[in-house]
Amino acid sequence: MANPVELRSLNAWSTSKNFTSPFYTGAIVHGVYDANHTSTVDIAFDPSTLPTPWPIIVASIGLSLITASWALYTIRKGSNRSWVAGLCFSLLNTVRSFAALVSASRALAGHGGLWPAPSSTCALVLSNIPYTYRSPAPFDSVAIINTLLSFTALGITGLAPWYRWEGLSYGKMSIFGGNCPAFVSLCPDQSQLNYAGCGWIDPKDPNYQFDGSTIVSLVEKIIGMAFFAPLALGSWIVVFLVIGLLAKAFSGITEWLSDPDWEPANCDKHRRRQKVFLILKVVFISIAGLATISAHLNQELSKPIYPSVLLDSFGPVRNLSTESAGDSWTDCFVVDLPYGRLGFMDIWWSTAKSRPEHILGLL
Protein backbone atom coordinates (compact mmCIF):
# COMPACT_ATOMS: atom_id res chain seq x y z
CA MET A 1 0.00 0.00 0.00
CA ALA A 2 1.39 3.37 -0.97
CA ASN A 3 2.27 5.89 1.70
CA PRO A 4 -0.41 8.62 1.53
CA VAL A 5 2.09 11.24 2.65
CA GLU A 6 3.97 10.73 -0.61
CA LEU A 7 0.86 11.00 -2.78
CA ARG A 8 -1.23 13.92 -3.92
CA SER A 9 -4.99 13.78 -3.83
CA LEU A 10 -6.59 11.79 -6.63
CA ASN A 11 -8.85 14.73 -7.42
CA ALA A 12 -6.46 16.04 -10.08
CA TRP A 13 -6.11 12.56 -11.56
CA SER A 14 -9.85 11.89 -11.71
CA THR A 15 -10.58 15.31 -13.18
CA SER A 16 -8.63 14.38 -16.30
CA LYS A 17 -11.08 11.50 -16.77
CA ASN A 18 -14.19 13.45 -15.81
CA PHE A 19 -15.72 14.33 -19.18
CA THR A 20 -19.26 15.31 -19.98
CA SER A 21 -20.83 11.95 -20.75
CA PRO A 22 -23.44 11.42 -23.45
CA PHE A 23 -25.06 8.75 -21.29
CA TYR A 24 -26.38 11.21 -18.73
CA THR A 25 -24.22 9.73 -16.02
CA GLY A 26 -24.65 11.27 -12.62
CA ALA A 27 -27.17 8.84 -11.17
CA ILE A 28 -26.66 8.02 -7.50
CA VAL A 29 -25.18 4.60 -6.78
CA HIS A 30 -24.88 3.09 -3.31
CA GLY A 31 -21.84 1.53 -1.72
CA VAL A 32 -21.26 -2.18 -1.24
CA TYR A 33 -19.89 -1.83 2.29
CA ASP A 34 -22.43 0.72 3.43
CA ALA A 35 -25.56 1.65 1.49
CA ASN A 36 -25.42 5.11 3.07
CA HIS A 37 -22.26 5.80 1.06
CA THR A 38 -23.33 7.34 -2.26
CA SER A 39 -21.47 8.39 -5.38
CA THR A 40 -22.10 9.53 -8.95
CA VAL A 41 -19.20 7.47 -10.30
CA ASP A 42 -19.83 5.66 -13.59
CA ILE A 43 -18.16 4.19 -16.68
CA ALA A 44 -19.23 5.29 -20.16
CA PHE A 45 -17.94 6.41 -23.53
CA ASP A 46 -16.57 9.88 -23.95
CA PRO A 47 -18.51 11.85 -26.62
CA SER A 48 -15.56 11.64 -29.02
CA THR A 49 -14.91 7.90 -28.52
CA LEU A 50 -18.51 6.77 -28.85
CA PRO A 51 -18.57 3.75 -31.19
CA THR A 52 -20.31 4.36 -34.48
CA PRO A 53 -23.80 2.81 -34.32
CA TRP A 54 -23.83 -0.62 -35.92
CA PRO A 55 -26.34 0.38 -38.64
CA ILE A 56 -23.92 3.13 -39.76
CA ILE A 57 -21.01 0.68 -39.71
CA VAL A 58 -22.98 -1.78 -41.86
CA ALA A 59 -23.88 1.00 -44.33
CA SER A 60 -20.29 2.32 -44.45
CA ILE A 61 -18.64 -1.07 -45.01
CA GLY A 62 -21.37 -2.00 -47.48
CA LEU A 63 -20.90 1.18 -49.52
CA SER A 64 -17.13 0.69 -49.68
CA LEU A 65 -17.62 -2.96 -50.67
CA ILE A 66 -20.02 -1.99 -53.46
CA THR A 67 -17.65 0.72 -54.66
CA ALA A 68 -14.69 -1.67 -54.82
CA SER A 69 -16.81 -4.41 -56.41
CA TRP A 70 -18.00 -2.04 -59.12
CA ALA A 71 -14.41 -1.49 -60.20
CA LEU A 72 -13.92 -5.25 -60.27
CA TYR A 73 -17.00 -6.29 -62.21
CA THR A 74 -18.44 -3.48 -64.28
CA ILE A 75 -15.91 -0.86 -65.40
CA ARG A 76 -15.07 -1.85 -68.97
CA LYS A 77 -13.32 -0.01 -71.77
CA GLY A 78 -15.82 1.55 -74.16
CA SER A 79 -18.85 1.06 -71.87
CA ASN A 80 -19.95 4.61 -71.18
CA ARG A 81 -22.55 3.59 -68.66
CA SER A 82 -19.99 1.60 -66.69
CA TRP A 83 -17.25 4.19 -66.51
CA VAL A 84 -19.65 7.08 -65.90
CA ALA A 85 -21.11 5.17 -62.96
CA GLY A 86 -17.55 4.48 -61.84
CA LEU A 87 -16.83 8.22 -61.90
CA CYS A 88 -19.88 8.76 -59.71
CA PHE A 89 -18.43 6.31 -57.18
CA SER A 90 -15.06 8.06 -57.45
CA LEU A 91 -16.62 11.47 -56.77
CA LEU A 92 -18.55 9.98 -53.85
CA ASN A 93 -15.24 8.72 -52.49
CA THR A 94 -13.82 12.24 -52.83
CA VAL A 95 -16.51 13.58 -50.50
CA ARG A 96 -16.08 10.69 -48.07
CA SER A 97 -12.27 10.97 -48.04
CA PHE A 98 -12.30 14.69 -47.25
CA ALA A 99 -14.95 14.10 -44.59
CA ALA A 100 -12.92 11.27 -43.03
CA LEU A 101 -9.79 13.43 -42.78
CA VAL A 102 -11.71 16.36 -41.26
CA SER A 103 -13.46 14.07 -38.78
CA ALA A 104 -10.25 12.32 -37.69
CA SER A 105 -8.34 15.62 -37.41
CA ARG A 106 -11.04 17.23 -35.27
CA ALA A 107 -11.14 14.23 -32.97
CA LEU A 108 -7.35 14.20 -32.61
CA ALA A 109 -7.28 17.92 -31.85
CA GLY A 110 -10.12 17.55 -29.34
CA HIS A 111 -12.42 19.96 -31.16
CA GLY A 112 -15.61 18.00 -30.66
CA GLY A 113 -15.26 15.49 -33.47
CA LEU A 114 -16.18 11.82 -33.31
CA TRP A 115 -13.43 9.28 -33.90
CA PRO A 116 -14.16 7.44 -37.18
CA ALA A 117 -13.95 3.66 -36.97
CA PRO A 118 -10.54 2.52 -38.32
CA SER A 119 -12.22 -0.41 -40.05
CA SER A 120 -14.61 1.76 -42.08
CA THR A 121 -11.77 4.17 -42.90
CA CYS A 122 -9.65 1.20 -43.99
CA ALA A 123 -12.49 0.01 -46.24
CA LEU A 124 -12.69 3.50 -47.73
CA VAL A 125 -8.97 3.46 -48.55
CA LEU A 126 -9.28 0.10 -50.29
CA SER A 127 -12.34 1.25 -52.25
CA ASN A 128 -10.35 4.28 -53.48
CA ILE A 129 -7.34 2.38 -54.80
CA PRO A 130 -8.98 0.65 -57.82
CA TYR A 131 -10.01 3.99 -59.28
CA THR A 132 -6.40 5.16 -59.43
CA TYR A 133 -5.87 2.93 -62.49
CA ARG A 134 -9.41 2.26 -63.73
CA SER A 135 -10.64 5.82 -64.22
CA PRO A 136 -10.11 8.24 -67.14
CA ALA A 137 -7.90 11.28 -66.70
CA PRO A 138 -8.04 13.42 -64.61
CA PHE A 139 -10.15 11.26 -62.30
CA ASP A 140 -7.37 8.73 -61.89
CA SER A 141 -5.30 11.54 -60.35
CA VAL A 142 -8.25 12.57 -58.19
CA ALA A 143 -8.49 8.97 -56.99
CA ILE A 144 -4.81 9.07 -55.96
CA ILE A 145 -5.48 12.19 -53.87
CA ASN A 146 -8.57 10.51 -52.37
CA THR A 147 -6.48 7.50 -51.44
CA LEU A 148 -3.87 9.66 -49.70
CA LEU A 149 -6.54 11.67 -47.85
CA SER A 150 -8.32 8.57 -46.57
CA PHE A 151 -4.98 6.91 -45.78
CA THR A 152 -4.00 9.92 -43.66
CA ALA A 153 -7.34 9.69 -41.84
CA LEU A 154 -6.68 6.00 -41.27
CA GLY A 155 -3.23 6.85 -39.94
CA ILE A 156 -4.77 9.16 -37.36
CA THR A 157 -7.47 6.72 -36.26
CA GLY A 158 -5.52 3.49 -36.65
CA LEU A 159 -2.30 4.57 -34.96
CA ALA A 160 -3.86 6.70 -32.20
CA PRO A 161 -4.38 3.73 -29.82
CA TRP A 162 -0.69 2.85 -30.15
CA TYR A 163 0.88 6.26 -29.55
CA ARG A 164 -1.80 7.62 -27.17
CA TRP A 165 -1.62 4.98 -24.45
CA GLU A 166 -3.42 7.10 -21.86
CA GLY A 167 -5.36 9.20 -24.36
CA LEU A 168 -8.72 8.74 -25.99
CA SER A 169 -9.23 6.71 -29.13
CA TYR A 170 -12.09 4.98 -30.89
CA GLY A 171 -14.31 2.83 -28.66
CA LYS A 172 -12.50 3.47 -25.37
CA MET A 173 -14.41 4.16 -22.16
CA SER A 174 -13.71 6.57 -19.33
CA ILE A 175 -14.55 6.93 -15.66
CA PHE A 176 -16.99 9.73 -14.90
CA GLY A 177 -18.16 11.48 -11.76
CA GLY A 178 -17.37 10.53 -8.21
CA ASN A 179 -14.93 12.21 -5.82
CA CYS A 180 -11.68 10.34 -6.42
CA PRO A 181 -12.59 7.15 -8.28
CA ALA A 182 -10.33 4.23 -9.07
CA PHE A 183 -10.91 1.01 -10.98
CA VAL A 184 -10.66 -2.43 -9.34
CA SER A 185 -11.27 -5.80 -10.96
CA LEU A 186 -12.92 -7.15 -7.80
CA CYS A 187 -14.22 -5.43 -4.71
CA PRO A 188 -11.68 -6.08 -1.92
CA ASP A 189 -12.73 -7.21 1.51
CA GLN A 190 -13.29 -4.15 3.69
CA SER A 191 -10.87 -5.52 6.29
CA GLN A 192 -8.09 -5.29 3.68
CA LEU A 193 -8.41 -1.51 3.39
CA ASN A 194 -5.89 0.25 5.61
CA TYR A 195 -6.92 3.74 4.54
CA ALA A 196 -10.11 5.72 3.99
CA GLY A 197 -10.78 8.98 2.15
CA CYS A 198 -9.32 10.53 -0.97
CA GLY A 199 -5.58 10.45 -1.61
CA TRP A 200 -4.27 7.04 -0.60
CA ILE A 201 -4.41 5.31 -4.00
CA ASP A 202 -1.39 5.65 -6.27
CA PRO A 203 -2.70 6.42 -9.79
CA LYS A 204 0.38 4.63 -11.19
CA ASP A 205 -0.49 1.42 -9.33
CA PRO A 206 -1.54 -1.10 -12.03
CA ASN A 207 -4.07 -2.60 -9.61
CA TYR A 208 -6.14 0.60 -9.87
CA GLN A 209 -5.56 1.64 -13.49
CA PHE A 210 -8.39 1.75 -15.99
CA ASP A 211 -7.34 1.63 -19.65
CA GLY A 212 -10.90 1.85 -20.99
CA SER A 213 -10.44 -0.95 -23.54
CA THR A 214 -13.54 -2.61 -25.01
CA ILE A 215 -14.15 -5.37 -27.54
CA VAL A 216 -14.71 -2.73 -30.21
CA SER A 217 -11.55 -0.78 -29.38
CA LEU A 218 -9.39 -3.94 -29.43
CA VAL A 219 -10.77 -5.19 -32.76
CA GLU A 220 -10.45 -1.76 -34.37
CA LYS A 221 -6.94 -1.43 -32.97
CA ILE A 222 -5.89 -4.69 -34.64
CA ILE A 223 -7.55 -3.82 -37.98
CA GLY A 224 -5.99 -0.36 -38.03
CA MET A 225 -2.52 -1.64 -37.22
CA ALA A 226 -2.71 -4.53 -39.71
CA PHE A 227 -3.14 -2.01 -42.51
CA PHE A 228 0.07 -0.25 -41.51
CA ALA A 229 2.31 -3.31 -41.80
CA PRO A 230 4.15 -1.61 -44.74
CA LEU A 231 5.48 0.90 -42.22
CA ALA A 232 7.91 -1.83 -41.21
CA LEU A 233 9.76 -1.00 -44.43
CA GLY A 234 10.67 2.33 -42.92
CA SER A 235 8.97 5.68 -42.54
CA TRP A 236 11.22 7.36 -45.12
CA ILE A 237 10.17 4.87 -47.81
CA VAL A 238 6.53 5.68 -47.06
CA VAL A 239 7.27 9.42 -47.22
CA PHE A 240 8.96 9.10 -50.61
CA LEU A 241 6.07 6.92 -51.84
CA VAL A 242 3.52 9.57 -50.77
CA ILE A 243 5.53 12.34 -52.42
CA GLY A 244 5.79 10.30 -55.60
CA LEU A 245 2.03 9.63 -55.68
CA LEU A 246 1.23 13.30 -55.12
CA ALA A 247 3.61 14.30 -57.90
CA LYS A 248 1.97 11.79 -60.21
CA ALA A 249 -1.52 13.02 -59.30
CA PHE A 250 -0.82 16.71 -59.84
CA SER A 251 1.18 15.96 -63.00
CA GLY A 252 -1.77 14.02 -64.39
CA ILE A 253 -4.22 16.81 -63.58
CA THR A 254 -1.96 19.44 -65.13
CA GLU A 255 -1.46 17.33 -68.26
CA TRP A 256 -5.20 16.80 -68.65
CA LEU A 257 -5.98 20.50 -68.18
CA SER A 258 -3.58 21.33 -71.00
CA ASP A 259 -5.24 18.77 -73.30
CA PRO A 260 -8.65 17.57 -71.99
CA ASP A 261 -9.56 14.06 -73.07
CA TRP A 262 -12.76 12.30 -71.98
CA GLU A 263 -11.89 8.88 -73.33
CA PRO A 264 -12.32 6.05 -70.79
CA ALA A 265 -9.17 4.57 -69.32
CA ASN A 266 -7.53 1.70 -71.16
CA CYS A 267 -7.78 -1.18 -68.71
CA ASP A 268 -6.69 -3.97 -71.03
CA LYS A 269 -3.08 -3.84 -69.91
CA HIS A 270 -2.32 -6.03 -66.90
CA ARG A 271 -6.03 -6.94 -66.65
CA ARG A 272 -5.37 -10.27 -64.94
CA ARG A 273 -3.06 -8.70 -62.36
CA GLN A 274 -5.61 -5.96 -61.68
CA LYS A 275 -8.35 -8.52 -61.12
CA VAL A 276 -6.23 -10.40 -58.59
CA PHE A 277 -5.49 -7.24 -56.60
CA LEU A 278 -9.13 -6.15 -56.78
CA ILE A 279 -10.33 -9.52 -55.52
CA LEU A 280 -7.87 -9.31 -52.61
CA LYS A 281 -9.17 -5.84 -51.73
CA VAL A 282 -12.79 -7.03 -51.80
CA VAL A 283 -11.89 -10.03 -49.62
CA PHE A 284 -10.03 -7.83 -47.10
CA ILE A 285 -12.96 -5.40 -46.89
CA SER A 286 -15.33 -8.34 -46.35
CA ILE A 287 -13.21 -9.91 -43.60
CA ALA A 288 -12.59 -6.60 -41.82
CA GLY A 289 -16.27 -5.75 -42.21
CA LEU A 290 -17.46 -9.00 -40.65
CA ALA A 291 -15.02 -8.60 -37.75
CA THR A 292 -15.96 -5.01 -36.94
CA ILE A 293 -19.71 -5.50 -37.43
CA SER A 294 -19.63 -8.50 -35.07
CA ALA A 295 -17.67 -6.49 -32.49
CA HIS A 296 -20.05 -3.52 -32.71
CA LEU A 297 -23.11 -5.74 -32.39
CA ASN A 298 -21.62 -7.47 -29.37
CA GLN A 299 -20.57 -4.20 -27.72
CA GLU A 300 -23.67 -2.16 -28.45
CA LEU A 301 -26.49 -4.69 -28.17
CA SER A 302 -25.37 -7.03 -25.40
CA LYS A 303 -25.81 -6.21 -21.75
CA PRO A 304 -22.53 -7.06 -19.98
CA ILE A 305 -22.70 -10.28 -17.98
CA TYR A 306 -20.46 -8.90 -15.27
CA PRO A 307 -20.80 -5.30 -14.04
CA SER A 308 -17.72 -3.18 -13.35
CA VAL A 309 -16.51 -2.30 -9.89
CA LEU A 310 -15.11 1.09 -8.93
CA LEU A 311 -13.68 2.44 -5.69
CA ASP A 312 -14.68 5.90 -4.58
CA SER A 313 -13.90 7.80 -1.42
CA PHE A 314 -14.96 10.80 0.56
CA GLY A 315 -13.14 13.12 2.94
CA PRO A 316 -9.47 13.52 3.81
CA VAL A 317 -7.22 10.47 3.84
CA ARG A 318 -7.14 8.52 7.14
CA ASN A 319 -4.71 5.81 8.22
CA LEU A 320 -7.07 3.29 9.80
CA SER A 321 -4.24 1.55 11.63
CA THR A 322 -3.47 4.67 13.67
CA GLU A 323 -6.71 6.68 13.68
CA SER A 324 -10.43 6.36 13.17
CA ALA A 325 -12.02 7.04 9.79
CA GLY A 326 -14.22 9.83 11.14
CA ASP A 327 -16.31 11.22 8.28
CA SER A 328 -13.97 9.76 5.67
CA TRP A 329 -14.78 6.54 3.85
CA THR A 330 -13.80 4.35 0.91
CA ASP A 331 -16.34 2.02 -0.68
CA CYS A 332 -16.99 -0.14 -3.73
CA PHE A 333 -19.62 0.84 -6.28
CA VAL A 334 -21.05 -1.49 -8.91
CA VAL A 335 -21.88 0.11 -12.29
CA ASP A 336 -23.30 -1.32 -15.52
CA LEU A 337 -21.67 -0.60 -18.87
CA PRO A 338 -23.88 1.12 -21.47
CA TYR A 339 -25.60 -0.70 -24.30
CA GLY A 340 -28.39 0.18 -26.73
CA ARG A 341 -30.64 -1.53 -29.28
CA LEU A 342 -29.64 0.78 -32.14
CA GLY A 343 -26.06 1.23 -31.01
CA PHE A 344 -26.50 4.65 -29.34
CA MET A 345 -27.93 6.09 -32.56
CA ASP A 346 -29.71 8.98 -30.83
CA ILE A 347 -26.54 10.01 -28.98
CA TRP A 348 -24.41 9.68 -32.13
CA TRP A 349 -26.91 11.74 -34.11
CA SER A 350 -26.98 14.52 -31.48
CA THR A 351 -23.29 15.11 -32.24
CA ALA A 352 -23.23 14.19 -35.94
CA LYS A 353 -26.04 16.57 -36.94
CA SER A 354 -23.84 19.54 -36.05
CA ARG A 355 -20.76 17.92 -37.65
CA PRO A 356 -21.67 17.37 -41.34
CA GLU A 357 -18.40 15.52 -42.01
CA HIS A 358 -19.68 12.52 -40.05
CA ILE A 359 -22.80 12.28 -42.16
CA LEU A 360 -21.05 12.96 -45.48
CA GLY A 361 -18.31 10.45 -44.71
CA LEU A 362 -20.73 7.81 -43.40
CA LEU A 363 -18.02 6.73 -40.97
Give the per-residue pLDDT at 255. 65
Give the per-residue pLDDT at 58. 94
The Cβ of residue 309 has, within 10 Å, a number of other Cβ atoms equal to 17
Give the per-residue pLDDT at 351. 79
Give the per-residue pLDDT at 19. 38
Q: Which residues of the chain have pLDDT under 50?
A: 1-20, 78, 80
- Residues in CB range of 158: below 8 A, 6 or more apart: 118, 121, 122, 221, 223, 224, 225, 227, 228
Distance of CA 172 to the CA centre of its chain: 8
* Residues 229 and 211 sit within 8 Å (Cβ to Cβ): no
Give the per-residue pLDDT at 14. 33
Give the pairing of strands 318-319 and 38-39. unpaired
Dihedral of the alpha carbons of 297, 298, 302, 305, in degrees to the nearest 10: 180
- Which pTM value belongs to this model? 0.78
Query: E strand or H helix at 303, and its extent?
Result: none
Give the per-residue pLDDT at 248. 66
